[in-house]
Structure 1
């Protein structure tokens, strides 16, 4: 049995301009101990997808499809039952550690809280375990800082504390939503190395959201490329990086800064901007921004085309794109 199976997931939101479909029929799965990356521009549906796994969507959100975690259906699960999973069997590292931590509670209380709620530890036992967790994630002089508050730590240390909280109960699945946002490059690498070592050490499955293709390349075995609430390309990370079959994926790769590029050279960009959710075309979400757009792209949602190595792409014009690539090779 797979640890996580998401099938035909739709998430509808209420916006000032009316109802909008933020996630449009996505499906993916995750084995125990497997690592999965999700990439795409801001507003493509990455964060709201993982929030649905945690049961943290707005109250007005409408969810259909299936999310099965270790055989249990999460869509429609009562909040009390969801509380037994959230923070216990599914842990999450949030994007901004300063807002994820409560400014009026000590670190010992916040790291120890899931242990007291889910494991039934006493206050003293939870404090002892919190200390061990803080030491494991690399907080210096952790024993003397248990009673400190979030504002007394640096951004990198706050993110380490967030990781400690997410790991407190030994979850089966760890979700990391842009865990290195607003951190400098050196600290980013330390945090990513820490997450990878902890995932390997504890045998957890990992879902990592990132804008950074380099991070995805070095951190996960499989990946999803999302745009407009849809998965446009997916497969083993090596295969997706090698093939880059969807025009949107090609655009993301072309927009990366290149080492050794002449000074002052402009980066390639994807024309246009991500449309509002209510303005997404009924067909391919990338229609209009894509130079291969044909009339059918606006009205027909592409079915997945399977390439070698379990690599799937949703595009109506794959043959034309492949022929052009061969001609210019």
Structure 2
């Protein structure tokens, strides 16, 4: 019988960062549960807290940062754990694909050495056994002539090939959880599609839990079952991907969808020009200037006087679908 106990339980996760202006809340009250084989997407603009949430889950938060709440991996509380314990998990039970393949690889080590390293550290394999496993991994992720290119250097590979190598590194020890942070950054559309298909195949084959971070709604739609929309370090809407795409309950979610370029012919008003691409006005506020209420209040076209001063409650819209907006409170 398949084990259905939670792989990852995140409850009221917070992260405070040290800045020149004092401590600021970069991640606030993030909660979710992930089981083996489940997929979760994090979406939002740059600076909304997606990557910091992932780095906190990996125990890689910035120096001086303070994590709070609860983060349980296989039932073990990880908030407050020693760096030694984190090192035992990272690269072994938890793997991460970082968003920039050009800098994720160490230029002074061959790619084979970097893929084999976690096998030697966490699995105790000798050099020959680690090399054999690493070659098989490189071959699985689509590196042609993997045995010969094992001793090649990162600069001898294209961006797409480097991203495949970082995936091989993340999967070397067969992790239970894979975090992919913008895994198709700087890749062309064809290569990006191949990388995402590779991740989907590997998640299915190995029954891993997947957290996929992206600002691209199309990527989220095609690759995850559930999603969380983040803004100002806060989850403003969450639920099954299909439900969030259909309902779009939070004004920020609506703004994200409205600002997407539309493919295909567009109707031109009689005697007029095509409508300009909709954009969310203003910018994401700095962390030290976040209002005590809804972080989106300053950019929201339907904000009410209380939005900046009072944090709206998390409102349940349907099974598993939630949004945090004062308009939904009043509607309920």
| TM bracket, shorter-chain basis | over 0.9
Residues 207-226 of structure 1 mapped to structure 2, 5 A cutoff: 207-226=211-230
Aligned residue in 1 for 2:292: 282
Among 73, 78, 86, the alignment partner of 1:82 is 86
SS in 2 for 1:296: coil
Distance 2:97 2:274 in 1: 37
CA contact (8 A) 2:312 2:329 kept: no
CA contact (8 A) 2:229 2:235 kept: yes
Post-superposition Cα deviations, 1:123-146, rounded to whole Å, max 9, x if no partner, equal 111111000000000001111100
Q: What is the Cα-based RMSD across aligned positions, in Å?
A: 1.3
CA contact (8 A) 1:63 1:75 kept: yes
Post-superposition Cα deviations, 1:104-160, rounded to whole Å, max 9, x if no partner, equal 001111000000000000011111100000000000111110000100000000000
1:258 aligns with 2:262: yes
SS in 2 for 1:52: helix
Paired residues, number: 322
Deviation at 1:162?
0.2
Aligned residue in 2 for 1:327: none
Deviation at 1:66?
0.6
Aligned residue in 1 for 2:314: 304
Residues 178-217 of structure 1 mapped to structure 2, 5 A cutoff: 178-217=182-221
Distance 2:118 2:276 in 1: 48
Deviation at 1:308?
1.5
Among 65, 84, 104, the alignment partner of 2:69 is 65
1:113 aligns with 2:123: no
Among 126, 129, 132, the alignment partner of 1:125 is 129
Q: TM-score with structure 2 length normalisation?
A: 0.95
SS in 2 for 1:295: coil
- Bigger CA drift: 192-201 or 23-32? 23-32
Structure 2: give runs of 5+ residues left out of the alignment.
267-272
Distance 1:267 1:145 in 2: 46
Distance 1:70 1:300 in 2: 36
Aligned residue in 1 for 2:269: none
Alpha-carbon distance change, 82 to 183 in structure 1, aligned in 2, over 3 angstroms: same
Aligned residue in 1 for 2:172: 168
CA contact (8 A) 1:9 1:25 kept: yes
CA contact (8 A) 2:315 2:329 kept: no
Could you list the runs of 4 or more consecutive aligned residues of structure 1 that deviate by over 3 angstroms after TM superposition?
261-265
Distance 1:29 1:108 in 2: 35
